Every structure is written in C-alpha cells, then in structure tokens.
Amino acid sequence: MSNAITTSQFEADVLQSPVPVLVDFWAEWCGPCKMIGPHVDAISNDFEGKARVYKCDVDSEPEIAQKYNIMSIPTLLYFKGGKVVDQVVGAVPKTTIAAKLESLL
C-alpha cells in the first residue's frame, strides 16, 4: 500500500530518498485517479525495498502540487536524486507505471 505524503515529510521522504520515488498526485473526487489507485498500490508492494511510492492529495497538500505545477490529475512524478526525472499524466496501465519506475533502478 502506498503512503500519503505531506508537505512536512516531502523533503526527507522524497527529495532526500536514497532510492527512486513515485508520487501519485490525486484527489478523492477524481475518477481517473480512482482507476489507477489500485495500480499504484500494487506497484508500491512490487517495488518494496527498491523504490518508494507515495500518494499526494492535491486538495490536502496544495503546496506540493503548486511547486510541481500539477495542472491535471492523476499526475505521476518520478524522482531520482531529489529531481523529477519522468512523469505521466492521466490514467495509464500498470505496466506503463511500473516500467518507468523500473528504468530508474
């Protein structure tokens, strides 16, 4: 299961992570977000110990969404070494999400 990320945790848990990080920007009211939510949760389990996976609710944590110019959700940002190295906007298959994360390992 992926974990919720907050503004106060973002620096330590995402930007300073020693492993690649996937952050799913979503909202409760977003239909496509609910479609990929189970994929993100499964990937969190699949990559346990190799990468970190977090969910960022754009309504609860608008500062993070604004910092990364999140205009559409779902948006998946892939971080490595504290920088965004890839992204996906919209609902995509689990294989697409996993392949991008796998390429960062």
Q: What amino acid positions are annotated as catalytic residues?
A: 30, 33
Rounded Cα distance between 35 and 80, Å, is 25
Residue 1 pLDDT greater than 70, yes or no: no
Write out pLDDT tens, residues 70-79: 999 999 999 9
Residue 6 pLDDT greater than 70, yes or no: yes
Query: What pLDDT sits at residue 2?
Result: 73
Average pLDDT, rounded, for the chain? 97
Mean pLDDT of 38-49: 96
Structural domain boundaries enclosing 36: 3-102
Assign residue 13 the CATH number of its domain.
3.40.30.10
In DSSP terms, 83 is beta-bridged to 80
